[in-house]
Structures are given as C-alpha cells and as structure tokens.
Amino acid sequence: NTGAADAKNLKVKLVLLGDSGVGKSCIVLRFVRGQFDPTSKVTVGASFLSQTIALQDSTTVKFEIWDTAGQERYAALAPLYYRGAAVAVVVYDITVPESFKKAQFWVKELQKHGSPDIVMALVGNKADLQENRQVPTEDAIEYAEKNGMFFIETSAKTADNINQLFEEIAKRLPRAPP
C-alpha cells in the first residue's frame, strides 16, 4: 500500500488515531510547520497536510497526513479514514491512562481492519509533563513489542522526538525491490 511513485520516492498515506486531546494535531503541526500553538486546536482540525523527508539512502518519503477533525469520537467512521493508509500513528497522552487504553483499542481495530502491511507506531505524547506521568514507559514498551509496533515518546510542545518519529516510520516502510 505504499503508493510508490518509484523505488526512491515513496508517497504514503498516514493517519493519526487516538483520543481527542492527546495532541495529534499538535504533532502534525510541529512536524510540518515546526510550530506549537496551544490555542490553534480547531483550525488544525480538518486539514490535510503533507511533508517530505529524505533518508540517508537518498530515498524520499512524502507523507500525506490525515488529521481528524474530531472523528476520533466516532469509532464507526474510523474505517473510512484509515482505509488505504500505509501508516497509522496511534497516540496517547502519558498523563491520561484512559488514553493509553483507547490507543490499545485502536491497535486492535487496525489489526482487524487495516491494511495487512500497515506500519503502526505507538506514540506517548506530552512527554514534557513528566511530573504528571500516569503511563509508565515500560508498559508501553511491553505493549508495543507484543504487537510488533514501533514505540516512541514525544512532545509536540518542546519538539522532542517529533522528527525521529517520522524518520523511524519512514525507515520501516516496505520497499519495492530496486
């Protein structure tokens, strides 16, 4: 499902899933525009953004990023949204245990109904709020390992690990043989 233009220039649909408020839109805004605006919640909502990154082997990956406008509240609509996605980024908030539970729900959903070769990343966002942490890193590592997912903790606020997240995803994309 990697919509490859050619072997060296990949184009992939990436969706974000996770509870409302975990920071999905802020992660996208940080990655695409290098900004963090704690007040821009609604305006980022419905947008479709793209960003291209270059890897060391001179492959380029163009991410076509689908950010929800609050559809995450309606599980029944989700299949329309993640259909054909090569990448799913499942986000929770390290300060909100329920959001980690919800992330696990989305992982199961994607395992059942997503593309068989989908690349999944588990992201613990708001890592800057260490003093309010409620989800231990080890729990997430264990869950991600069991489910064959890449895991990383990020902060859209400080930009910590945001570029790394997308670089690691890019490295894990299935490649067409040269």
* Contacting positions for Mg ion (CB under 5 A): 24-25
* CA-wise closest residue to 166 among 14, 10, 4: 14
> Cα separation of 16 and 33, whole Å?
17
Note whether 23 binds ligand GDP by CB under 6 A.
Answer: yes
Query: How far is residue 139 CA from its own chain's centroid?
Result: 19
Stretch that binds ligand GDP, among 73-81, 113-121, 141-149, 150-158 (CB under 6 A): 150-158
27: helix, strand or coil:
helix
Which partner from the list Mg ion, ligand GDP, none does 21 bind, CB cut-off 5 to 8 Å by kind? ligand GDP
As given in the structure block, the two tokens for residue 1 are 């499902």
Q: How far apart are CB 17 and ligand GDP at their closest, in Å?
A: 9
Separation of alpha carbons 45 and 57, rounded Å: 34
Residue from the set 6, 38, 57, 131 that interacts with ligand GDP by CB under 6 A:
38
Q: Which residues pair with 114 in a beta bridge?
A: none
Interface with ligand GDP (CB under 6 A), residue from 128, 150, 163, 167: 128
By CB under 6 A, name the one of 4, 32, 55, 129 that touches ligand GDP. Answer: 129
Write b or e for each residue in 92-131: b if 16 or more Cβ atoms lie within 10 A of its Cβ, otherwise e. Answer: bbbbbeebbebbeebbebbeeebbeebbbbbbbbbbbeee
Which does residue 125 bind out of ligand GDP, Mg ion, none, counting CB within 5 to 8 angstroms by kind? Answer: ligand GDP
The smaller minimum CB distance to ligand GDP, of residues 110 and 156, is found at: 156
Q: Is 125 in the site for ligand GDP (CB under 6 A)?
A: yes
Q: Which chain residues interact with ligand GDP by CB under 6 A? A: 18, 20-26, 38, 41, 125-126, 128-129, 155-157
